[in-house]
Amino acid sequence: MSDSQNPGLSQATLSAGSSSVELPVHQPTLGAPCIDIGKLPKATGCFTYDPGFTATASCKSAITYIDGEEGVLLYRGYPIEQLAEKSSFLEVASLLINGELPTKSEFASFEHEVTHHTMMHEAFKSFLGGFRHDAHPMAMLVGMLGSMASFYHNDLDLEDPEQRRLAAVRLIAKVPTIAAACYRHSIGWPLRYPRNNLDYTTRFLHMLYEVPSEPLELNPVAAKAMDLLFILHADHEQNASTSTVRLVGSTGANPYVCVASGVAALWGPAHGGANEAVLKMLNQIGRPENVQSAIDKAKDKESGFRLMGFGHRVYKNYDPRAALVRKMTHEVLGQLGVNDPLLDVAMKLEEAALKDDYFVQRKLYPNVDFYSGIIYKALGIPVEMFTVMFAIARTAGWVAHWLEQQDDPENKIGRPRQVYTGPANRDYVSMDQR
Ligand code: CMC
C-alpha cells in the first residue's frame, strides 16, 4: 500500500445498510492514515473483522517506524543502518525508552544504573533448580521473568513514573543475567555473577561462557557482533510479542509479567523462534545441492513446510535488518576464521528463492532471522539459546512500549470483539435425555 494514496485525508464515510457514519482519520508523521472506527458500533450496530490485525492500528506510538514497501526501519526517527554503524545496544535502549539520543552524561548515568541493577536475588537460584536440566531456555526465561513479579510487586506503585522507569531499567539490566543463568543451569555450570567493570554485551557473554576454573579470553569481534545483533532486534513496533506486552499492560498488570508474556509470544516459530527454526532447516537441507527440493517443498501447501527466515507481515521488500545481518555474517565468520558450510546453503537458498516466481509474486524476502543463526552458531551460542538472544534485545523495545502505554491518555484495556459462529440460544438437556 502506498502512503500517498490518501494524503491529507481527514475524514472517511462508511455506509452500512441504512446508516452512514463520518469517521475521523488519524494522520501519522510517516505512513498510511488510519481511519478511527471507534464510533462505528454505536452508529451502525456493526463491528469490524480483521483476523491477525492485518489492517488495524492498535495504538499511537512514537517509538519505531517501518515502511514495509521500501524496506525502511527507524528507531525514534533514526535509520537502523546509522544506529547499527555508530551506536551501541545500550545507547539504543536509552533512545528507545527516553525518545532522544542521550548526552554523554545522560548515557553515563543510564549505563551506571543498568550496570548496578544486573544482580539477581539469590532466591532465583532455587527457582532455577526446579527446572529439569533439559528444559528449553525460553521456557525457563518465561518462568523466571514471571517470578520477578513476586520480588517487585507489593510496593510497586504504577502511578509513579519513577517506579515505572525503574522497572524498565531493572528489566533491561536483569534479563541478560537471567538468560545466562538459564543456559548455565541447562548445562550444569555454576552461575556466574555479573561483572560491573564490563560493558553490557561483554558482561553478558562473560556470564554465558566463563568457567570458574579459568579466566575467559573473549574475542572482541564476538562482543561487537552480539551488540550489533542486539541493536537490530531491539524494537519492531507492534509485532506479536510487543502487542502482547501492551495487551497485558493495558490491564494494569505488573510490568515483569507483561515482559514475561512478551517472551512467551516471541518463542513461536512464526516470530522470534524462527532463528532456531532456520538453523534446524539449514542443517536438514545440509548441502547446496538439496536447496531446490527445499524450495519446491516450501511452495507445496500440502507439505506444511515454509522457508523459515523468509517472509514478513510488514516487509514486502528486503528486510533492512536482514541486509545488515547478511553483510555482517560474512565479516564475522571471516574475522573469527570460521568456515561454516551452512552459509553456502543459506546463500544458495536465498539466491534460488529470490529468483523463484512463487517467492517473487508474494514478495517473500529473507527476514532478520535468516542469517542471524549462522552468526550465533559461529559465536558458540547453542541453538536453543537463539531466541533468548532475541528476547534480551527486544526487552528494550518491550519496556519502551510499556512505558509509552502507561503514559498514554488513550490507553484502555485491550478487548477485541468476535464473529460468533457457535450455536444460537438453546435449552439445556439433562444427561439422561442426550
Ligand atoms: N515460505 C513459503 N511460503 C510462505 C512463507 C514462507 N516462509 N511465508 C509466507 N508464505 C506464503 C503463504 O503461504 C501465503 O501464500 P498464499 O498467498 O498462496 O496463501 C503468502 O506467502 C502470504 O503469507 P501469510 O502467511 O499470509 O503472511 P503473514 O503476514 O500472515 O505471515 C510470517 C508472515 C512471517 C508469519 C510468514 O511469512 C512466515 O511464516 N515466515 C516464516 C517464519 C519466519 O521467518 N518468521 C520470522 C518473522 S521476522 C522476525 C520477527 O519479527 O519475529
* pLDDT at residue 220 greater than cutoff 60: yes
Average pLDDT over every residue of 91-118 = 98
CA distance 387 to 373: 9
Contact 307, 358 (CB under 8 A): no
Other CB atoms within 10 Å distance of the CB of residue 184:
20
Which domain range does residue 257 map to?
103-226+240-267+383-394
Q: Are residues 175 and 262 in the same domain?
A: yes
One domain for residues 246 and 338: no
Active-site residue, from 312, 319, 427, 432:
312
Q: What is the mean pLDDT of the chain?
A: 94
* CATH number of the domain bearing residue 181: 1.10.580.10
Q: Give the Cα separation of 389 and 176 in Å (integer).
A: 9
Residue at 67 is within a domain? no
Residue 315 Cβ inside 6 Å of ligand 1? The answer reads no
Closest alpha carbon to 28 in 52, 59, 70, 69:
59
Question: For residues 220 and 192, what is the distance between their CA atoms, to the nearest angstrom?
Answer: 20
The answer on 277 and 355 residing in a single domain is yes
Band of pLDDT at residue 361, cut at 50, 70 and 90 = very high
pLDDT for 341-350, tens place per residue? Answer: 998 999 999 9
Inside any domain, residue 356: yes
Same domain, 41 and 107: no
What is the number of the ligand 1 atom nearest to the C-alpha of 367? 48
Q: Does ligand 1 have an atom closer than 6 angstroms to the CB of 309?
A: yes
Is the pLDDT at 1 greater than 60? The verdict is: no
For residues 167 and 305, state if they share a domain: no
Q: Work out the average pLDDT over 299-315.
A: 93
369 is catalytic: yes
β-bridge mates for residue 24, sequence order: 11
User: What is the phi-psi region of residue 365: left when phi exceeds 0, alpha when psi lies from -120 to 50, beta otherwise?
Assistant: beta
Q: What is the pLDDT of residues 152-199, one digit of tens each?
A: 887 889 999 999 999 999 999 999 999 999 999 988 899 999 999 999
Whether residue 3 has pLDDT greater than 70 = no
Are 261 and 286 in the same domain? no
Task: Indicate if 312 belongs to the active site.
Answer: yes
Phi-psi region at 13: left, alpha or beta (left = phi > 0; alpha = psi -120 to 50): beta
State whether 132 and 251 are in the same domain.
yes
Rounded to an integer, the average pLDDT of 359-366 is: 94
Do 311 and 259 fall into the same domain?
A: no
Please indicate, yes or no, if residue 338 is contained in any of the structural domains: yes
Please check the confidence at residue 5 and state whether its pLDDT lies above 90. Answer: no
pLDDT at 154: 79
Protein residue with least CA distance to atom 46, ligand 1: 271
218 C-alpha to ligand 1 centroid (Å): 37
Nearest to residue 170, comparing CAs of 418, 355, 346, 402?
Answer: 402
Residues 293 and 311 in one domain: yes
Residue 84 maps to a domain = no
In this structure, is residue 422 part of a structural domain? no
Whether residues 171 and 309 fall in one domain: no
User: 49 C-alpha to center of ligand 1: Å?
Assistant: 21
Band (pLDDT 50/70/90 cuts) for residue 6 is: confident
pLDDT at 4 over 70: no
Q: Ligand 1 center to residue 32 CA distance, Å?
A: 22
pLDDT of residue 283 exceeding 90: yes
Domains: count for the chain: 3
Sign of the Cα torsion 125, 126, 132, 138 reads negative
CATH number at residue 298: 1.10.230.10
Per-residue pLDDT tens over the stretch 22-43: 999 999 999 999 999 999 999 9
Are 353 and 390 part of one and the same domain? no
- Cα–Cα dist 219/205, whole Å: 10
Residue 179: inside a domain, yes or no? Answer: yes
Is 93 domain-assigned?
A: no
So what's the pLDDT on residue 152? 86
**One domain, residues 322 and 262:** no
- With a 6 Å cutoff on the Cβ, whether 369 touches ligand 1 is yes
